[in-house]
């Protein structure tokens, strides 16, 4: 299946390295590393073609959240 055959509504949810890099404000090299180490959800469409499902990335980001060590929210102005 060629990427052009994929319906637009599905393609709109699939992000490239460059698009995800911009959204997360991280270098594309970081994303390449995360994919290589299988630390980020991705879809391999071919040997060199990788896409990221926007919904899966959103869920993955929620899982990456760290709670403050003291269990409270930081105070404003600090």
Cβ-based neighbour number of residue 20 at 10 Å: 20
pTM of the model: 0.73
What are the Cα distances from residue 14, in Å, to 32, 35, 47, 52, 73?
16, 15, 17, 5, 34
Average pLDDT by consecutive 10-residue portion of the chain (78 residues)? Answer: 59 88 95 97 93 92 87 60
Place of tokens 């390449």: 32
Domains in the chain with CATH codes = 3-62 (1.10.10)
Kindly report, residue by residue over 23-37, the tens digit of the pLDDT. Answer: 999 999 999 999 999
How far apart are alpha carbons 78 and 74 in whole angstroms?
7
Q: What is the pLDDT of residue 17?
A: 97
Report helix, strand or coil for 36: helix
């Amino acid at each position: 299946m060629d990427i052009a055959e994929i319906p637009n509504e599905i393609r709109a949810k699939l992000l490239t390295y460059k698009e995800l890099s911009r959204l997360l404000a991280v270098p594309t090299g970081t994303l390449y590393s995360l994919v290589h180490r299988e630390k980020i959800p991705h879809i391999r469409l071919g040997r060199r073609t990788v896409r990221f499902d926007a919904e899966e990335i959103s869920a993955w980001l929620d899982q990456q959240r760290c709670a403050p060590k003291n269990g409270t929210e930081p105070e404003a102005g600090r």
